[in-house]
Chains A and B, each alone.
Chain A
Amino acid sequence: MLILQLLASGIQTGVLYGLTAAGFALIFGATRVFHVAHGATFVLAGYAFVLGAQAGLPWPVSCLLALVVAIGFGLFMDAFVYRPIQRHEGAFFTVFVAAFGASLVVQNLIQFCVGRGSVSVSTPLTRASEILPGLYVAPVFWIAIGVAVALFALVTMFLDRTDAGVALRGLSENPELLRAFGLSSRRLSALAFGIGSAMTVPGAILTAATSGIEPAAGAHVVLISLAAAVVGGIGSLRGAALAGLLLGITENLIIAVLDTQWSEAAGFLVLFAFILFRPSGLFGQAVRR
Chain B
Amino acid sequence: MTAYLLNLATLATIFGILAASLNVLIGYAGIFSVAHAVFFGVGAYAGAQVALNLVPDVLLASLAGGLLSGLLSLCLALPALRVRGEYFVAASLGLQMLAVTVFSEAHSLTGGHGGLVGIPPASLLGIDVSSPWRFLAVCVGALTLSLVSIAILMRGGFGRGLMAIRDSESAAEALGKNVPALKTIAVAIGCSLAGVAGTLFAFQLAFINVESFTLEQSVLLMAMVIIGGAGTLLGPLVGTLLLLLLPAVLSFIPFIPATEIGTVQQLVYGLAMTLLMIFRPAGLAAPSTGRR
Q: Do A and B come from one complex?
A: yes
SS class of chain A's interface: helix, strand, loop or mixed? helix
Interface readout for B260-283 with A: 1 if CB under 8 Å, 0 if not?
A: 100110110111111101100100
Interface readout for B59-95 with A: 1 if CB under 8 Å, 0 if not?
A: 0000000000000000000110011111111110111
Which residues from B are CB-within-8-Å of A227?
90, 94
Q: Provide the bound-state CA to CA distance between A105 and B271, in Å.
A: 6
A20 shortest CB reach to chain B, Å: 16
CB-CB nearest in chain B for A234: B86
**B173 CB-CB contact with A under 8 Å:** no
**B249 CB-CB contact with A under 8 Å:** no
- How many residues on chain B are close to A (CB under 8 Å)? 44
Interface readout for A106-120 with B: 1 if CB under 8 Å, 0 if not?
A: 011101100010000
- How many residues on chain A are close to B (CB under 8 Å)? 48
A108 with B85, Cβ < 8 A, contacts A88-B281, A93-B32, A269-B98 known: no
A32 shortest CB reach to chain B, Å: 9
B157 shortest CB reach to chain A, Å: 25
Contact present for A101 and B272 (CB under 8 Å) = yes
Contact present for A275 and B79 (CB under 8 Å) = yes
**A230 CB-CB contact with B under 8 Å:** yes
Q: Provide the bound-state CA to CA distance between A184 and B141, in Å.
A: 57
Q: Provide the bound-state CA to CA distance between A108 and B256, in Å.
A: 14
Residue from A223, A230, A261, A279 in contact with B101 in the complex, judged by beta carbons closer than 8 Å: A261
Query: Which of B84, B222, B273, B278 gathers most chain A CB within 10 Å?
Result: B278
Which residues from B are CB-within-8-Å of A81?
274, 277-278
Query: Which of B85, B97, B215, B274 gathers most chain A CB within 10 Å?
Result: B274
Contact present for A92 and B95 (CB under 8 Å) = no
A272 with B101, Cβ < 8 A, contacts A101-B274, A105-B274 known: no
**A34 CB-CB contact with B under 8 Å:** yes
Residue from A100, A223, A272, A279 in contact with B273 in the complex, judged by beta carbons closer than 8 Å: A100
**A121 CB-CB contact with B under 8 Å:** no
CB-CB nearest in chain B for A99: B274
**B155 CB-CB contact with A under 8 Å:** no
Contact present for B86 and A34 (CB under 8 Å) = yes
Which residues from A are CB-within-8-Å of B273?
97-98, 100-101, 104
Interface readout for A66-105 with B: 1 if CB under 8 Å, 0 if not?
A: 0000000000000001001100101111111111111111
Q: Provide the bound-state CA to CA distance between A81 and B94, in Å.
A: 26
Q: Provide the bound-state CA to CA distance between A63 and B85, in Å.
A: 36
CB-CB nearest in chain A for B79: A275
Which residues from B are CB-within-8-Å of A85?
277-278, 281
A70 shortest CB reach to chain B, Å: 19
Q: Provide the bound-state CA to CA distance between A209 and B272, in Å.
A: 34
Which residues from A are CB-within-8-Å of B267?
104-105, 108-109, 112
Which residues from B are CB-within-8-Å of A92?
85-86
Contact present for B105 and A262 (CB under 8 Å) = yes
Residue from A88, A97, A107, A268 in contact with B266 in the complex, judged by beta carbons closer than 8 Å: A107
**A226 CB-CB contact with B under 8 Å:** yes
The residues in A between 229 and 250 inclusive whose CB is less than 8 angstroms from any CB of B are 230, 234
Interface readout for A160-197 with B: 1 if CB under 8 Å, 0 if not?
A: 00000000000000000000000000000000000000
Q: Provide the bound-state CA to CA distance between A223 and B88, in Å.
A: 14
CB-CB nearest in chain B for A269: B98
CB-CB nearest in chain A for B225: A97
Residue from A34, A103, A219, A264 in contact with B270 in the complex, judged by beta carbons closer than 8 Å: A103
B128 shortest CB reach to chain A, Å: 40
Which residues from B are CB-within-8-Å of A101?
223, 269-275, 277
Contact present for A230 and B97 (CB under 8 Å) = no
**A287 CB-CB contact with B under 8 Å:** yes
Interface readout for B149-182 with A: 1 if CB under 8 Å, 0 if not?
A: 0000000000000000000000000000000000
Q: Provide the bound-state CA to CA distance between A206 and B90, in Å.
A: 27
**A-B interface, 3 closest residue pairs, ranked by CB to CB distance from nearest:** A104-B270, A101-B273, A101-B274
Report 7 cross-chain contacts, Cβ distance below 8 Å, ordered by A residue.
A28-B86, A101-B272, A223-B93, A265-B101, A275-B82, A275-B90, A276-B91
With A99-B274, A226-B90 known, 18 other A-B pairs at CB within 8 A are: A28-B86, A34-B89, A90-B292, A93-B32, A96-B86, A96-B89, A97-B226, A98-B277, A101-B277, A104-B267, A223-B93, A227-B94, A264-B97, A265-B102, A268-B93, A271-B90, A275-B87, A276-B79
Interface residues of A (CB under 8 A from B): 28, 34, 81, 84-85, 88, 90-105, 107-109, 111-112, 116, 219, 223, 226-227, 230, 234, 259, 261-262, 264-265, 268-269, 271-272, 275-276, 279, 287, 289
